[in-house]
Structure 1
Amino acid sequence: MSTSTLPAAHHPLSRLRTDLWDAVLEGDEYTATALVRDALDDGVDAESVLLDVIAPVQGRVGEEWAADRITVAQEHAATAINDRVVGVLSHGPGVPPTGAAGRVTVACVDGEWHALPARILAEVLTLRGWRVDYLGAQVPAAHLIAHLHRTGADAVALSASLATRLPAAHATITACQATGTPVLVGGAAFGTDGRYARLLGADAWAPDARAAARLLAANSGTRSRRVLQPIDDLPHLADQEYTLVVRSKARLVKAVLAGLDERFPGARAYTEAQRERTAEDIAHIVDFLAASLYTDDAGLFARFLTWTTGILTARGVPAHSLVPALDILGEELRDFPRAALHLRLAAAPPGDAPCPPAPWDTHA
């Protein structure tokens, strides 16, 4: 793999980022791919293009959506173009033969559709000499385990962007480790400091693709240290609150919707489309509350509400509309002590806590 880059004055990555952003914002796939090909021809190494150009541009896509400066359609189009630009690098010049460093499986947790971070990692590992089995988005644990038995991979790199995927991630981590395969995790779901990776017993956590590649190289050939996990590794789940909230999701959403008609006069005038969107928003609230119960971290739910408040404000929706919804949810869950506590603590979320990505933000 070539590690040379042209001097900044000749081909600054910042200029390439700007040009790529303009292209993806316009939906111009031809220009986007041409920019990357030209950069490679000029001597910019592929890893730098992946991690210092494409990944930041994708991050900006999520930020602009959250600020309501681009539409959902623009976000989807930009993400699709970035994914195809990664494909240009996959078949570009200078890609070394794979397999010298070992074999690794890269996959997204079941239910996780945000595949671009995992794909970028897969390409970085390929460039660094790994034989990579990239399985893509939402891979069921059973399918992943069958793949590991068939291929004998040296490690699994598991990606998740949303904290609501943590229960599925936990099951997948445990299943992979039962085969003796070490699991490296990454993505926004695991926290900016990897706290949920440690909670769920992953062998390692990496904040970005470069760190992931270094960790995999340093531990190549090592079997999982946690072949057998204790069955009570999350003893707080014994109260069954997480399970009961998940099973009651449809009822909770229906109850909150009905209560809003009584307590939030504006809700009575909602169109059918607005009511459907409101139901989706309430469902997200229940999902993140469940995730906070699974991790026993009220801060997770508080950070989600902080992020949600920002999204609503950017779209001109009064943030106080959340209050009656949370009140009703609290009444429905009054017999659930931990859930009630998490709802109360969310009323004053920590100001410096990181917020989760948008549901379709693929940057991690």
Structure 2
Amino acid sequence: MTRPITRSDPAVLVRRAREELWRAVGVRDEYAAGQAVFTALDAGVSAEDVLLDVIAPVQHKVGAEWAANRFTVAQEHAATAVHDRIIAALAHRTRGTGPAEARGTVTVACVDGEWHALPARILAEVLSHRGYRVDFLGAQVPTPHLIAHLHQTAPTALAVSSSLPTRIPTAHAVITAAQAIGVPVLAGGAAFGEDGRHARRLGADAWAPDARAAAAVLDRGLPQPRTGAVRQSLDDLPHLADQEYTLVSRSKRQLVKNTLAGLEERLPAMRLYTDAQRERTAEDVAHVVDFLAVALYTDDARLFTDFLDWTGDILQARGVPARVIDPALALLQEELKDFPRALGMLTQGRARYGDDSPAPPAPGPRHDV
């Protein structure tokens, strides 16, 4: 006989809600998704636990299923949209009616170019439930407009989110500009590294691995930066003096063009590609250049090699051998032979593929879901 679920079984309630939510988003059933969440809430699970222990892990699983080629991009987007609407319904059902300013005001925003807004949305809801007044600005906030908003509202802190490491230079500009007007910055998201190393390197006042930890950091309080103390990129990242990041990022279009031409010359199979296949291959080469550039910005080769490992996993899940990346890396080595740091990172990247003979490059999937 199945033991009934009661308010004294919070772990069981959370696990059951998570399982039911996963089944619901898998078939795009928003009604069943809401029922899973609100049943747990009515049974005594806190709104914060629903956000962080039910919705967040299910969303993470959605991303893992896309990476494993068991979800399409459209399915991933549909699941994310269901979660977004459930969070909105949860907010209206569980929040108080008055403004929550006793604990301060926090602006939560994604950096310009960052479309993955759900982690920031979840943080905004957690902070609201903890008594903060929150300005949630959503995805892809242009830096000048974000700083203007901080000028106008003078929040207690800025929580800046980014999942894509390629947005690190933009995040750096946000951090320094916010601190220059006296607003401390809490950084979060996969872009800053699983240990927060990039947040520290960029001079953020704090870093947190998840929304619960971020709320705890804000509860303790952040140090107030000195207003008007403007830092330059070289203050935090002196290696940028060699100009490799600037030159590689500015020449991205030419690097992609030359690499594609070299691939076509060396690998005749590419000449039979359709326009769509050619475009997809160009996108993949552009991603390689983007991640090489940001690795140069941070002087962290792991950013580049981790991206190559991830890309290899994505390709293999779609039946494409990871070593298709190697010919492009070899051509980029030739293009960047006078750039010691870039050359070293490309060499580390190519070491991932051992002595296998290179295969013709195949058009891979887009990575910007």
- Answer yes or no: is 1:194 the counterpart of 2:196: yes
Q: 1:200-257: CA deviations, max 9, x gaps?
A: 000000011011001111116x412686254322111111111111111111111111
Q: State the match for 1:277 in structure 2.
A: 280
Distance change >3 Å, CA 183–CA 270, structure 1 → 2: same
Residue in structure 2 matching 1:109, options 105, 108, 111: 111
| Secondary structure at 1:193 match in 2 | coil
Q: Aligned partners of 1:333 and 1:322: how far apart in 2?
A: 17
- Give the secondary structure class of the aligned counterpart of 2:163: coil
* Alpha-carbon contact 1:203-1:226 (below 8 Å) kept: no
RMSD over aligned Cα, in angstroms? 1.9
Name the CA shift for 1:168/1:124 in 2 (closer, same or farther; >3 Å): same
Q: In structure 2, what is the Cα distance between the partners aligned to 1:10 and 1:294?
A: 43
Q: Does 1:330 align with 2:333?
A: yes
Aligned to 2:32: 31
Of 312, 316, 331 in structure 1, the residue corresponding to residue 315 of structure 2 is 312
Give matches, 1:112-261, under 5 Å. 112-219=114-221, 222-224=223-225, 228-231=229-232, 232-233=234-235, 234-261=237-264
Question: Helix, strand or coil for the counterpart of 2:177?
Answer: helix
Corresponding position of 2:64 = 63
SS at the partner of 2:186?
A: strand
Q: How does 1:281-292 map to 2 (within 5 A)?
A: 281-292=284-295
Gapped runs of 5+ residues in structure 2? 1-5, 354-365
After TM superposition, give the deviation of residue 327 of structure 1 in Å: 0.5
**Structure 2 counterpart SS, 1:69:** coil
Counterpart of 1:328 in structure 2: which amino acid?
L
Pick 1 or 2: higher relative contact order, CA cutoff 8 A, min separation 6: 1
User: In the TM superposition, what is the alpha-carbon distance from 1:92 to its structure 2 partner?
Assistant: 1.0
- The one-letter code of the counterpart of 1:247 is R
Q: Distance in 2 between matches of 1:359 and 1:49?
A: 29
- TM-score in terms of structure 2 length: 0.90
Secondary structure of 1:92's counterpart equals helix
Q: Post-superposition shift, 1:90?
A: 1.1
Letter aligned with residue 308 of structure 1: T
2:171 maps to amino acid = A
Number of residue pairs the alignment of both structures matches = 349
Q: Which residue is equivalent to 2:3?
A: none
CA shift at 1:266, angstroms?
3.3
**1:89, CA displacement in angstroms?**
1.2
C-alpha separation between the residues in 1 aligned to 2:249 and 2:119? Answer: 28
Give, in whole Å, the separation in 2 of the partners of 1:230 and 1:142: 17
Q: Is the 8 A contact 2:109 2:141 kept in 1?
A: yes
Q: Does the C-alpha gap of structure 1 residues 226 and 269 become closer, same or farther in structure 2, counting only changes over 3 Å?
A: farther
Tell me if structure 2 keeps the 8 A contact 1:194–1:207. yes
Structure 1 residues 292, 235: CA separation in 2 closer, same or farther (over 3 Å shift)? same
Return 252-261 or 295-304, whichever deviates more: 252-261
Partner residue in 2 for 1:355: none
Retained in 1: the 8 A contact 2:188–2:209? yes
**1:353 aligns to what?**
none
**Secondary structure class of the residue paired with 1:12:** helix
Partner of 1:348, secondary structure, is helix
What CA distance in whole angstroms lies between the structure 2 residues aligned with 1:226 and 1:347? 45
What CA deviation, in whole Å up to 9, does each residue of 1:14-58 have, x standing for no partner? 111111111111111121122222222222211011000111011
Alignment partners' CA distance in 1, 2:297 and 2:81:
33
Unmatched tracts of structure 1, length 5 or more: 351-357
Rounded Cα–Cα distance in structure 1 between residues aligned with 2:80 and 2:343: 38
TM-score, normalisation: structure 1: 0.91
Match of 2:344 among 338, 341, 345: 341
Rounded Cα–Cα distance in structure 1 between residues aligned with 2:264 and 2:162: 35
Identical columns (%): 63
> Aligned-pair distance for 1:192?
0.5
